[in-house]
Amino acid sequence: MNYKVILSMAIIPLLLIAAGGTVFGDTSEASTSSSGNYTFSANATMSTLTNLSYQSDNGNLLLASHVLASSGSATKIGYTFTQYAIKLDNATILKNGQENVFLMLSNYMDSYQNYTMNPKGTLSTVKMDLNMQMQDTMENMSMSVGLGTSFNSTVYSFIYNETEFYVFSNGQSVMSGSSISFHSTGYLLTGIISFGGLVNSVDNYKYVKENSFTYNSATGNVSGKYASFNLNASTGVISSFRENIINQTIFNTVYVTGNGSLFAQSQFPSMPESTPILLGSLFVYGNSTTVIAVHDNPAIESNFILDNGTLHLTLAPGLNATKVTTLGADMNMSADVADNINMTDKEALDLSGSVEAGSHAILILGNGVRAYLLIHNASANISGSTVTINSTGLSQVSLVAPPGLQGKNLMVDSLIQKAIDNGRIAAEISISGSSSASVNVSITFNSTVRTVITSVSNGKVTLNVSAAAGHHEGTNVLIFISNTVIANGSSIHLSFDGNAVSLTSVNGVINATSTIDASFAVMKVSGGSLIILHVPHFSNHTVEIYSGSATTSPLGVLSQNMDLVVLGAVIAIIAVLSAVAVRMKKAKQ
């Protein structure tokens, strides 16, 4: 089976693949060492490890009785921080910051490593494309350095005392019995990952990729389940940007002009210039003035990073744009914008990061479309059907279309939109699912409210609602549940902290003033049900929504639980480039 996997490693020190003369402690005799949960005896002169073991909940597991690193050219590996490495003459053990990961690096003209495995089970193989991301974050220093490498690899798996392990490398591999040999004519990286590392990365990638974009380089057409558009890669002009669920064009054209220097920002996440990149449900394109990233998810979230440029958006016929004053504040962006991104907080494919929401936004309405442009460190102007957003430095603009609020619905168009405008709705939680995956998006209109989707199963959803410290006043929350989670026509029930909540009218919930009793109402909207819940006061609340025929069969891993802030504080959608781990460079001509 072929998988494409992105691994995110933490605290990989600098100059992994450089030569140098850093001084290390004397390890000429065998000594017991460790890296995360892995222990072994290391002999630096012989470049051997013996009794490579893993400390697990099931005891000490011997994985390899002997590991040898050798080469035809004894080039030394330079290293910056000895506390992050164990130096052998022919290899370096990298203390990578993750307890379940063991890494060994050789950097020679002719690198060779051999593992004599001791698996309590049969070694099996899985063919994979590996994209390994490594980041070095210096403590007490505002700098972040990344390294990336991609390779096709045969991965060996085995199970030992109910713990699953994977052995991988960027080199050529040969397995003979319990012996695995790896060879490379350049640097050679080998590793072992226990269950929860590689497996979860594979699973998460499969779920993210379920709604993959397709890109036709000849026509420029980009097609997804939720969003589609056309890109002229040479000019960077996007045309016919559509929201597929309601079959409506939002923008006739989108393009950026200016004279920025994003490619000169040494700490900015990177990709080839003027070359489209597809990462499953993520489409990325960039040049010196802008980086554009579009997600194929129910919110069709799209992000534009601008550097001394102007974003031009032409609305489709029937749509109108209005400026909205928000409660947020512009984030402080600089050349160190990458510091807003931590690739190791979550799997890289979650693409998680955080920036503060802007102090103003633009609401786009018409033809069933309801979307927001969130603006940070830039000025906006609306002239007829044209929206221009001007940046004199680094700025960000984000587009989000709240699921469940799309399509023509009189109740939504009048009561719900007015309640949002008047601050009587604090957040919308969108839950979509299928037999293999769930895509869940939380959109916060009030920055003090926190929402977390904790589980999704057939006919049942559980989530947590809380507020920032010091905020206790009650408010209302929208919850959109797709027909794939709770079937259309099913009766919907709701419990609040374990107590059944009475069903009432939409007006009754919006205008509720109780500080004791919760209440809720249900509206049928395009694609599912829209629930409005009155939260009487805030501490930490558990909300369960279920149908009369609810089961506990899971709808799949909650692979995307993205928090998008529309009018309040934090947007966790800007780390759209953390999965691209090469230095920004011009595409080859």
pLDDT, tens digit (0-9, with 9 covering 90-100), for 518-549: 999 998 887 889 999 999 988 788 999 998 76
Burial of 292 (0-12, 13-18, 19+ CB in 10 A): buried
DSSP one-letter code for 423: T
Reported as a pLDDT band with limits 50, 70 and 90, residue 215 is very high
Q: Specify the amino acid at residue 564.
A: L
Quick: pLDDT tens for 53-78: 988 766 788 888 888 888 654 444 44
Domain ranges (residues) in the chain: 2-207, 214-402+575-586, 419-565
Average pLDDT of span 555-577: 33
CB-CB contact of 491 with 546 (8 Å) = no
End-to-end CA gap in the chain: 35
Q: Which residue is listed with tokens 């633009």?
A: 362
Sign of CA dihedral 294, 306, 345, 480: negative
Picking from 21-35, 164-178, 380-394, which range would have the lowest pLDDT averaged per residue? Answer: 21-35
Q: Quick one: pLDDT at residue 270?
A: 41
Q: Which of 344-353, 366-375, 445-454, 491-500 has the highest mean pLDDT?
A: 491-500
Q: Which fold has domain 419-565?
A: Immunoglobulin-like (2.60.40)
* C-alpha of 202 from chain center: 14
Quick: pLDDT tens for 76-123: 444 444 455 788 888 888 775 667 788 888 766 667 778 788 766 667
Name the residue among 49, 547, 586, 576 with its Cα closest to residue 283.
576
* C-alpha of 548 from chain center: 34
| Whole-number average pLDDT of the chain | 70
- Spatial neighbors of 397 by CB under 8 A, at least 6 apart, are 303, 304, 306, 311, 373, 374, 375, 376, 378, 389
C-alpha–C-alpha distance, residues 453 and 431, integer Å: 8
Reported as a pLDDT band with limits 50, 70 and 90, residue 358 is low
Q: What are phi and psi of 22, to 5 degrees?
A: -65, 140
What percent of the chain is predicted at pLDDT more than 90? 18
Quick: pLDDT tens for 133-153: 443 333 332 233 333 444 556
**Pair type for strands 85-87 and 92-94:** antiparallel
C-alpha–C-alpha distance, residues 3 and 396, integer Å: 33
Q: Which of 359-363, 422-426, 515-519, 578-582 has the highest mean pLDDT?
A: 515-519
Q: What are phi and psi of 88, to 5 degrees?
A: -105, 165
C-alpha–C-alpha distance, residues 398 and 563, integer Å: 13
Sign of CA dihedral 336, 339, 344, 347: negative
Q: Quick one: pLDDT at residue 283?
A: 84
Res. 237: pLDDT tops 90: yes
Q: Which residue is listed with tokens 């003033």?
A: 513
C-alpha–C-alpha distance, residues 210 and 441, integer Å: 16
DSSP one-letter code for 413: I
CB-CB contact of 316 with 305 (8 Å) = no
Copy the structure tokens of residue 388: 């221009």
Res. 571: pLDDT tops 50: no
Average pLDDT of span 405-424: 75
DSSP one-letter code for 219: T
Name the residue among 476, 542, 544, 472 with its Cα closest to residue 508.
476
Task: Identify the helix (H) or strand (E) that includes residue 2.
Answer: strand 2-10
User: Reduced to 3 states, what is the DSSP secondary structure of residue 178?
Assistant: coil
* C-alpha of 141 from chain center: 25
What percent of the chain is predicted at pLDDT more than 70? 63
Average pLDDT of span 227-249: 95
Res. 402: pLDDT tops 50: yes
Q: Quick one: pLDDT at residue 437?
A: 37
Picking from 150-154, 175-179, 339-343, 497-501, which range would have the lowest pLDDT averaged per residue? Answer: 339-343
Quick: pLDDT tens for 295-340: 888 888 888 888 889 999 999 999 999 987 654 444 433 322 322 2
C-alpha–C-alpha distance, residues 198 and 204, integer Å: 10
- Spatial neighbors of 374 by CB under 8 A, at least 6 apart, are 357, 358, 361, 396, 397, 398, 399, 400, 565, 566, 571
